[in-house]
């Protein structure tokens, strides 16, 4: 696995990286993380990801002295030094290293790991044909808005989907609301209106979701934040999921029931095209800024 890692200030080959067995991230899943995608050697939406990372750190009471600019500098330098063009940056911050006790000292020094690694592209057929999804009960803890490394419910949900030939598992709460996917946000098209669940503390405020909201506003695509009932989602004209890793993918079947005409719809395709244009524009602007420095 090609890649480069930064561990508490030291840089080295990814395959040689080690962590302590006493790290609370390893013992308790006591930490938070972010994943940033790299396109043509440029990390996309770094500030948005760092802002969410800082929010997650505050939410679990892990104190890191880094300023936003320091995070950005380390990430950009690591991407440049890696020489990788199509990749992802993984950031993980744990509470630190100490004997295995559930409670912790407030003086612990957090462990910070940042690595850049090759990332394979989504198969073309999934983009063109859309994917299948299933639903599972939402049995996660009450703060899915924080991006913690405690992901066992998501892992099991995703595995359940994989075992029945589906791409994603969507969490449905006790009121019948479809909240989000195990690793994605959900969108549905009803007529000419795009709907996505609100960031009410019960979903992760996805960065890709945030970009889509911006794109819709800029291009006069009507979008609203509103709870989506499971029975309503089955009647949608289109549905798609969004994430940093897979961008935007049409959902054409849910629990074996066809959504719309069973193909990624025109709104889905339009938003994906606009999203990719935003990536290109962002990289172009970054190049101009670097030349002017």
Which among 215, 140, 134, 197 is positioned nearest to 170, based on CA atoms? 134
Q: How many helices (H) and strands (E) does the chain have?
A: 8, 16
* HSE-up of residue 150 (Cα within 13 Å, Cβ side): 18
DSSP state of 250: E
What does the radius of gyration of the chain's CA atoms come to, in whole angstroms?
20
**Catalytic residue numbers, as ranges:** 147
Distance (Å) of CA 145 to CA 77, 148, 207, 270: 29, 9, 12, 28
Classify the C-alpha dihedral 241-138-91-121 as positive or negative: negative
Burial class (CB in 10 A: 0-12, 13-18, 19+), 265: buried
């Amino acid at each position: 696995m090609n890649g480069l890692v930064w561990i508490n200030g030291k840089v080295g080959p990814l395959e040689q990286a080690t962590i302590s067995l006493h790290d609370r991230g390893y013992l308790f899943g006591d930490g938070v993380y972010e994943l940033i995608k790299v396109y043509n050697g440029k990390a996309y939406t770094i500030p948005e990801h760092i802002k969410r990372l800082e929010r997650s750190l505050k939410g679990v009471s892990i104190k890191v002295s880094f300023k936003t600019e320091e995070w950005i500098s380390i990430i950009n330098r690591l991407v440049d030094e890696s020489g990788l063009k199509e990749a992802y940056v993984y950031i993980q911050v744990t509470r630190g290293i100490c004997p295995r006790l559930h409670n912790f000292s407030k003086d612990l020094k957090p462990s910070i790991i940042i690595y850049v690694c090759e990332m394979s592209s989504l198969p073309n057929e999934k983009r063109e044909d859309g994917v299948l999804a299933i639903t599972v009960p939402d049995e996660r803890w009450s703060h899915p808005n924080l991006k913690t490394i405690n992901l066992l419910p998501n892992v099991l949900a995703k595995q359940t989907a994989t075992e029945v030939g589906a791409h994603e598992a969507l969490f449905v709460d006790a009121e019948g609301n479809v909240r989000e996917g195990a690793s994605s946000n959900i969108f549905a098209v009803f007529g000419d209106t795009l709907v996505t669940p609100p960031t009410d503390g019960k979903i992760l405020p996805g960065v890709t979701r945030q970009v889509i909201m911006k794109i819709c506003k800029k291009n006069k695509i009507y979008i609203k934040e509103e709870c989506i009932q499971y029975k309503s989602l089955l009647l949608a004209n289109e549905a798609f999921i969004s994430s940093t890793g897979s961008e935007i993918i049409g959902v054409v079947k849910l629990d074996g029931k066809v959504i719309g005409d069973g193909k990624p719809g025109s709104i889905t395709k339009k938003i994906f095209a606009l999203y990719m244009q935003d990536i290109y524009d962002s990289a172009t602007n970054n190049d101009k800024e670097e030349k002017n420095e």
